[in-house]
Structure 1
Amino acid sequence: MISPLVLGSHNVNGIRAAMRRGFRPFWDSEGADVIALQEVRCRLADLPTEAFTGYHTALETGTLPGRNGVAVMTRLAPTSIRTLSGGALLAGPDGAFSEVEAIHLPNRDLAHFSHEGRYIEVDLSDAPVRVASLYLPKGAAWPHEEDGKDKYDRKMRFLKGLSRLLTSSRREAAAEGRQFVVVGDFNIAHTELDLKNWRTNKRSEGFLPEERQWFSSVVGPRRLLDVVRHVHPGVDGPYTWWSWRGQAFTNDAGWRIDYHLASPALARSATTARVAREADYDSRISDHSPVVVHYDMAALAS
């Protein structure tokens, strides 16, 4: 069993653009065992093979051209893959993808999103862990935003289904002797600590009371723990997303919307948890910075 397990999450905002900005040099320097991606935003025919070499990559692109797409890159081939659609793409260390069958995750609310490439799970073969990569819809600030009701309702429906999915996946993993962790872009800042300008964003999507209440409902000492917050209690941030516009990045006026939510034992095994914020604006790989956690699997097994 690998220990520590170095697990990273990164909303790349387009894998081809991220490659031009230094995606692989960064992750090669991290030595990550698992890298979960969101917003891959690339069709099968256009995927840059060099982004994935050296890893086995399970990818759910969805069918919306140029949008969404989630993946999990692992050092060894996963023992199983689960998606909302029942299908996935899988690449070996050469980075060449082919279509494969995946275990279908039935969910009456999330079935509506099964073609969008927003959720994938894999079981690791070198550690007793199930890893999920999530890209949650952004939503809208309805009723404060007049024409946003459809987007608001879509996000609320997704959240409803996701609550059930996270519970069932966590329990199923535990029954199989596995820990569970869901990582990625939740598009929600949970508390005032997770948003620099929270006072002026009380009516903004991603910080609505009902979104934050939902987040509180899925975390807890017997459900899932927010790993970065567990390691860094009571601090502002560390933020993970900053607008490309203006001076948001320079002034660290960000949002913490990218998380690791792990089953309690796994979360408590984390020895380090950090946001790998780039040194300056010109060094940014994406509008999201990676989140990297080291899990002490040996301590977990003892």
Structure 2
Amino acid sequence: MVIPTSVEILSKDAGALRVASVNVNGIRAAYKRNMADWIAARDVDILCLQEVRAPDKILRELIGEGWHILHAEAKDKGRAGVAVLSRTEPVAVREHIGEDYFAESGRWVEADFEVNGEIFTVVSAYVHSGELGTQKQEDKYRFLQRMNVRLVELKNEKDHVLVVGDLNVVHTQKDIKNWKPNHNKRAGVMDEEIAYFDGFFGPEIGYKDVARELAGDVQGPYTWWSFRGQAFDNDAGWRIDYHMATPALAGKAIKSHVDRASAYDLRFSDHAPLVVDYQF
């Protein structure tokens, strides 16, 4: 199962806001693999999805009642798509990263919520996976460069900012099981990509890697394992799903958990949900 069995993990303190992010690898396929059971059990306040890969009508039918849904479809059918699902209604929304080139790419949505009189902005992001030597990789670098700009804008404009999603880059050797065979040989593990994350989490832009700060200096915990071969069984994973928070918000994070399935055939996606509680 994907649902944790620990009462400590499942329980939510009074006043805590639970935010979960997961690349569903196609919402229709994920629901066929019982994603709805995971949602029902996890008591999430804000759920961010990537790779929805379905029309808005289908997403709303699957999710059902009780959610406010912000969904940016990709122009290319069956590709990308990001969403922010929330139990309370946002006070404002924006449907792309602010550059016309990416306006219909289905890779970035922003929702503003009011929490205790402050504006809390949540972004669901899906960075290109990339492919070395192709336009896909050039688009990835262009998107990461645009993130440099937007992250600073949001940090300056909002009280709290949280960017979550499948960002498709491992930041350090701790974030991938097989560093040496992949480093500077495969998209997602290139020094040029990693340099952007040094900036995101460095003093100039100043966001915090919430899951890493809570986990400490340990290997993983990974959030993605290939469906191919024995990657999942051998825990040969990558940590490419993030909660990136402005410092004051990061200080409110009290627990983080990767909802890794107990067996290969029980996953609803090749990514596992990353769930973090923020105590307001």
With structure 2 as the length reference, what TM-score do the two structures score?
Answer: 0.90
Distance 1:45 1:24 in 2: 17
What amino acid is aligned across from residue 153 of structure 1 in structure 2?
E
1:204 to 160, 182, 186: 186
CA shift, 1:44, in A, is 2.9
Q: Deviations over 1:188-218 (max 9, x none)?
A: 0110000000110011100000101111101
Check the 8 A contact 2:22/2:271 in 1, yes or no. Answer: yes
1:192 to 173, 181, 194: 173
In structure 2, the partner of 1:93 is none
1:140 aligns with 2:136: no
1:216 aligns with 2:216: no
- In structure 1, stretches of 5+ residues that fail to align are 85-104, 142-147, 298-302
Distance 1:239 1:185 in 2: 12
1:171 to 156, 166, 169: 156
CA shift, 1:53, in A, is 2.5
Check the 8 A contact 2:56/2:71 in 1, yes or no. Answer: no
- In structure 2, stretches of 5+ residues that fail to align are 1-13
CA shift, 1:45, in A, is 4.2
Distance 1:154 1:67 in 2: 15
In structure 1, the partner of 2:16 is 4
SS in 2 for 1:25: helix
In structure 2, the partner of 1:119 is 108
Q: Deviations over 1:238-293 (max 9, x none)?
A: 00000001110011000000000000111121110111101101110100000000
The change in CA–CA distance for 1:217 and 1:52 in structure 2 (over 3 A counts) is farther
Map residues 1-302 of structure 1 onto 2, 5 A cutoff. 3-47=15-59, 49-84=61-96, 106-107=98-99, 111-126=100-115, 128=118, 129-141=120-132, 148-173=133-158, 178-202=159-183, 203-220=185-202, 223-297=206-280
The change in CA–CA distance for 1:239 and 1:52 in structure 2 (over 3 A counts) is farther
Distance 1:159 1:52 in 2: 33
What amino acid is aligned across from residue 185 of structure 1 in structure 2?
D
Q: After TM superposition, which residue ranges in structure 1, 4 or more long, deviate above 2 angstroms?
A: 44-48, 125-128
What amino acid is aligned across from residue 179 of structure 2 in structure 1?
W
Over the aligned positions, Cα root-mean-square deviation in angstroms equals: 1.4
The alignment of Structure 1 onto Structure 2 pairs a total of residues equal to: 263
Check the 8 A contact 2:75/2:106 in 1, yes or no. Answer: yes
SS in 2 for 1:180: strand
Distance 2:64 2:197 in 1: 32
What amino acid is aligned across from residue 229 of structure 1 in structure 2?
R
The change in CA–CA distance for 1:120 and 1:200 in structure 2 (over 3 A counts) is same
Distance 1:119 1:40 in 2: 12
